[in-house]
């Protein structure tokens, strides 16, 4: 390097760095262009499926709107007041306890007698408590 002036060497280094930067920028641009083309292609292939899904959702929304409108037209009657049920009568109580002694489970007892399952559970629990206190 003794034959080349320092200014020429520094200019060569700067020019090399600038050329490298330009090449890297060009490669980055080409890669970005490739990614953009791929994204455009994928969105073009996905568009028909998205449109079909939107169409199905729109049909469902329209159907729900029709149902709401129908309920508004016919559902304007006053609600029926709930009548309190009678308590578990002695016949059903004795039948439930008899079924339990025969080994039937609470769901079967409730279904057979037409009473809520919670009521059967409560009856059996009270019966156990009474028996344990005797």
- The percent of residues above 90 in pLDDT, for the chain, comes to 57
Give the C-alpha distances (Å, rounded to integers) separating 5 from 9, 18, 20, 38: 7, 20, 23, 50
Number of other CB atoms surrounding residue 1 within 10 Å: 7
* Domains identified in the chain, total number: 1
For 95-125, what is each residue's pLDDT tens digit?
Answer: 999 999 999 999 999 999 999 999 999 999 9
Please spell the DSSP secondary structure of 106-129, one letter per residue.
HHHHHHHHT--HHHHHHHHHHHHH
Asked, for residue 99, whether it belongs to a domain, the answer is yes
* Residue 109 domain flag: yes
46 part of a folded domain: no
Within-domain flag for 40:
no
Q: Coil, strand or helix: which one is 105?
A: coil
- The domain in which residue 103 lies consists of 90-133
Residue 55 maps to a domain: no
Give a yes or no: residue 116 inside a domain: yes
Q: Stretch 63-85: mean pLDDT, rounded? A: 77
Strand runs labelled E in the chain: none
| pLDDT score of 1 more than 80 | no
Q: Is residue 69 part of a domain?
A: no
Interval 15-41: pLDDT, tens: 999 999 999 999 999 999 999 999 988
Q: What is the pTM of this model?
A: 0.36
């Amino acid at each position: 390097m003794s034959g080349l002036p320092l200014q020429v060497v520094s200019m060569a280094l700067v020019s090399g760095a600038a050329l490298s930067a330009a090449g890297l920028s060009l490669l980055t641009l080409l890669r970005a262009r490739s990614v953009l083309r791929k994204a455009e292609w994928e969105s073009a292939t996905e568009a028909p499926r998205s449109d079909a899904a939107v169409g199905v959702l729109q049909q469902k929304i329209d159907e729900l709107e029709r149902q709401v409108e129908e309920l508004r037209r016919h559902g304007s009657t006053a609600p029926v007041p709930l009548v309190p049920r009678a308590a578990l009568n002695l016949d059903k109580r004795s039948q439930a306890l008899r079924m339990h002694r025969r080994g039937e489970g609470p769901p079967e007892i409730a279904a057979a007698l037409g009473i809520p399952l919670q009521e059967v559970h409560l009856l059996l629990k009270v019966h156990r408590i009474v028996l344990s206190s005797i």
